[in-house]
Amino acid sequence: MSADYVVHGSVAVITLNNPPVNGLGMATRSAAVEALRRAESDAAIKAVVITGAGKVFSGGADIREFNSPKALTEPTLHTLIATAENLSKPVIAAIHGVCMGGGLELSLGCHYRVASPGAQIGLPEVKIGLVPGAGGTQRLPRVVGLEQGLNMIVSGNPVLSEKLAETKLFDKVFAEGADLVASAVEFANGIADTRPLPKVRNLKVDYPNHEAFLQFSRNTVKAMAGAFPAPLECVECVAASVTMKFEDGLKYERDRFLALAQTTESKALRHAFFAERAASKVPDVPADTPTRSIAKAAVIGAGTMGGGIAMNFANAGIPVTILETKQEALDKGLATIRKNYENTVKKGKLTPEKAGQRIGLITGSLSYEDIAQADIVIEAVFEDLNVKETVFRQLDATMKPGAILASNTSTLDLDKIAAFTSRPQDVIGLHFFSPANVMKLLEIVRGKDTGKDVLATALALSKKIKKTGVVSGVCDGFIGNRMLEQYLRQAFFLLEEGVLPEQVDKAIERFGFAMGPFRMSDLAGNDIGWYIRKRRYIEQPDLEYSKVPDLLCEQGRFGQKTGAGWYDYKAGDRTAYPSPVVNELIMAQVQAAGGERRQVSDEEIVQRLVFALVNEGAKILEEGIALRASDIDMVYLTGYGFPLYRGGPMLYADTVGLPNVLETMRKFARGRHGDAWTPAPLLERLAGEGKGFND
């Protein structure tokens, strides 16, 4: 972790060197400041070039330092930037690859900036709930203009260097293939004696009628930002670049940055950022574990899941064959895929050519011989162990050696499935979520015999098909659905106390979930849960369930697909209308149970449902089904619509405080169906130690 110092004639070249992205952590900042001072004091040096080692200039500040005093330890990023800006000799930033966040802020403090084409230039701080904190909001609009600067800062999205070549951001964008450092040194020699040294802070943001533009931006951003405060704060900081003196604007930005860093929203976004990266790491499967090549795929079953799964491969450019038992089912599945692509084209999200190419990568077959050479096959047939057995025995008999045999089962025992084959090391669970071509989550289920190379390949594949892969051990429902069952049990118990579906849904949606439990069940199909409960009644006869959902299903109210579920639906309309029939059913059940209708607050509804998730999550963590609390959070953020600004159920529990969560659970344990509230031992232990799940 350092910055290298090499002299080319009378030009000092300082190379930020902190792999993988030259993050500006404390050690790198110190080394860079020291190198700048060395150049200043050496009379033989006339100019300084700052560049980055490897493929990038700098990916920015080290976010891990935000939770520690290190970020504020001298030399801070501000000090580094001020050192460059105040040098008596010209400092040139030579940019390539990636120049983001603090990296861009550093370059904006330099006197000149030159770049290679293809470099990604951006201030992505808003994506972790912050404003740029080292002058980015004050300097960027001064060089790219108010509109462009505001767009880049509020969206956080990068722009390619060549697209900014005509702005004052760059003094030169070199031709493709030019040697960046040699060209930058040549540039430095050309301007070495030019004085005064140009400084971005001395420029003005010129924009006629800027107040009208800023007001328009405030309105637009406010409407889009939802619960997140950072986007609007970005607008205010950019406004300060026009309305305040530079130093005042800098201070304003710094204050906003420090305040936002303390918000739960920013903490949640930073948590999600690290959680996503952590999820791809499995302690006993190191990063250099060999992976198997996936050039050809197959999917068994062209139903709801099979079609969506096949689209993932086609979207990633991997040819895929779907296998069915009957021509009719195959034709229907392929037609649905075609329709999905046509709809994407209609929405303007895909060109007809690209859609055609993708459809061309998907073929159908009724014969196992046609898929025998595939590198991976994903089974998505009926959720029935006997059917799975037939399929896996057939796969074992026909697939080439080394092919990965995956199952999309959502509840069945993967180890049993693996035992149907003579190659359990090749068997893995790949649990997609519906619609499989859209949902980000992929639960990767590791069986007791799953090979490490197979797991490493599945993790790599999840990236290739743009999913968030989270590893789960084998248990009924894996991480996500096992927790969901407890959440739904609580939702159904509430009905017995006379709470109506719409009150539960509204409370949960106000908490921030994309959809409440009853609307969600109507979408997924109430018969799925019914099927699972029937199995539970046999396997765990002591486990209590509310009768209401079974009574609902007995009426054939399976949800949207039958036009009626917890709500009523009109043909061709997904709007959920409260149902008098359901309300009557609920009230009859309240009476039958001899209970009374109770007024339940929205706060209690949220606590019952969310703490049920937390308690089961704690058990999953303790049993080692999930590797870390943040993996559970990732599952809920990417697969179940848990509000991102709360960071997932486990971080939410940490934020509430585990002793508080425990106390509320103990209160529920004294009420009806109190058995459901036996606290997970891990939760009790951590609460007692004053720790959180994510500590």
Omega before 643 cis (within 30°)?
Answer: no
Q: Which of 125, 265, 443, 502 is catalytic?
A: 125
Which residue intervals of 262-303 are DSSP H helices? Answer: 264-279
Task: Specify the residue, 431 or 646, whose C-beta has the smaller distance to ligand NAI.
Answer: 431
Count CA within 13 A, CB hemisphere, residue 606.
19
Q: Which two tokens stand for residue 539?
A: 């396997």
Annotated catalytic residue 105: yes
The answer to whether 383 contacts ligand NAI (rule: CB under 6 A) is yes
Task: Specify the residue, 262 or 386, whose C-beta has the smaller distance to ligand NAI.
Answer: 386
Number of residues that make up the chain: 695
Q: Which of 65, 85, 105, 233 is catalytic?
A: 105
Task: Specify the residue, 301 or 498, whose C-beta has the smaller distance to ligand NAI.
Answer: 301
d(CA 322, CA 300): 6
Task: Specify the residue, 36 or 458, whose C-beta has the smaller distance to ligand NAI.
Answer: 458
Q: Which of 64, 248, 295, 382 binds ligand NAI (CB under 6 A)?
A: 382
Within 392-411, the residues that bind ligand NAI by CB under 6 A are 408-410
The answer to whether 370 contacts ligand NAI (rule: CB under 6 A) is no
Residue 34 has a CB neighbour count (10 Å cut-off) of 16
Nearest in space to 128 (alpha carbons), one of 150, 156, 158, 99 = 156
The answer to whether 381 contacts ligand NAI (rule: CB under 6 A) is yes
The answer to whether 522 contacts ligand NAI (rule: CB under 6 A) is no
Task: Specify the residue, 1 or 439, whose C-beta has the smaller distance to ligand NAI.
Answer: 439
Within 126-165, the residues that bind ligand NAI by CB under 6 A are none
Query: In Å, what is the CA distance from 64 to each residue of 127, 132, 275, 531, 533?
Result: 15, 16, 12, 45, 44
d(CA 269, CA 263): 10
Looking at residue 197, what DSSP letter applies? P
Within 27-86, the residues that bind ligand NAI by CB under 6 A are none
Annotated catalytic residue 328: no
Instruction: Please tell me the count of residues contacting ligand NAI according to CB under 6 A.
Output: 25
The answer to whether 537 contacts ligand NAI (rule: CB under 6 A) is no
Omega before 208 cis (within 30°)?
Answer: no
Cβ-based neighbours of 162, under 8 Å, separated by 6 or more: 117, 118, 173
Q: Which of 236, 324, 443, 505 binds ligand NAI (CB under 6 A)?
A: 324
The answer to whether 336 contacts ligand NAI (rule: CB under 6 A) is no
By Cβ distance, which residue is nearest to ligand NAI?
303
Task: Specify the residue, 84 or 302, whose C-beta has the smaller distance to ligand NAI.
Answer: 302
Q: In angstroms, what is the minimal distance from the CB of 341 to ligand NAI? A: 18
Name the one range near ligand NAI by CB under 6 A: 58-66, 159-167, 378-386, 675-683. 378-386
Lateral strand order in the sheet of 468-472:
362-365, 320-323, 297-300, 376-379, 404-407, 427-432, 441-445, 468-472
Query: In Å, what is the CA distance from 543 to each residue of 264, 301, 304, 552?
Result: 36, 34, 31, 20
Asked if 235 and 141 touch (Cβ cutoff 8 Å), the reply is no
The answer to whether 526 contacts ligand NAI (rule: CB under 6 A) is no
The answer to whether 520 contacts ligand NAI (rule: CB under 6 A) is no
Within 426-455, the residues that bind ligand NAI by CB under 6 A are 431-434
The answer to whether 323 contacts ligand NAI (rule: CB under 6 A) is yes
Q: How far is CA 99 from the centre of its chain?
A: 22
The answer to whether 391 contacts ligand NAI (rule: CB under 6 A) is yes
The answer to whether 606 contacts ligand NAI (rule: CB under 6 A) is no
Asked if 56 and 100 touch (Cβ cutoff 8 Å), the reply is no
d(CA 148, CA 25): 29
The answer to whether 387 contacts ligand NAI (rule: CB under 6 A) is yes
Q: Which of 264, 325, 655, 664 binds ligand NAI (CB under 6 A)?
A: 325
DSSP bridge pairs for 406: 378, 428
Q: Which of 301, 424, 565, 648 binds ligand NAI (CB under 6 A)?
A: 301
Name the one range near ligand NAI by CB under 6 A: 155-163, 324-332, 421-429, 658-666. 324-332
Site string for ligand NAI, 408-427 (x = CB under 6 A): xxx-----------------
The percent helix, strand, coil of the chain (3-state, each to 5) is 55, 10, 35
Task: Specify the residue, 303 or 319, whose C-beta has the smaller distance to ligand NAI.
Answer: 303
Q: Which of 71, 146, 299, 300 binds ligand NAI (CB under 6 A)?
A: 300
Task: Specify the residue, 22 or 409, whose C-beta has the smaller distance to ligand NAI.
Answer: 409
d(CA 255, CA 516): 37
Beta strand 2-8 with 11-17 is antiparallel
The answer to whether 390 contacts ligand NAI (rule: CB under 6 A) is yes
Cβ-based neighbours of 226, under 8 Å, separated by 6 or more: 645
Q: In angstroms, what is the minimal distance from the CB of 382 to ligand NAI? A: 5
Name the one range near ligand NAI by CB under 6 A: 22-30, 40-48, 382-390, 558-566. 382-390
Q: In angstroms, what is the minimal distance from the CB of 379 to ligand NAI? A: 8
Q: Which of 184, 302, 582, 665 binds ligand NAI (CB under 6 A)?
A: 302
Site string for ligand NAI, 458-497 (x = CB under 6 A): ----------------------------------------
Nearest in space to 610 (alpha carbons), one of 639, 653, 641 = 653
Omega before 517 cis (within 30°)?
Answer: no
Task: Specify the residue, 350 or 479, whose C-beta has the smaller distance to ligand NAI.
Answer: 479
Within 303-322, the residues that bind ligand NAI by CB under 6 A are 303-306
Write a three-state SS string for 75-117.
CCHHHHHHHHHCCCCCEEEEECCEEECHHHHHHHHCCEEEECC
> Which residues here bind ligand NAI, judged by CB under 6 A?
300-306, 323-325, 329, 380-383, 387, 390-391, 408-410, 431-434
Residues tagged active-site: 105, 125
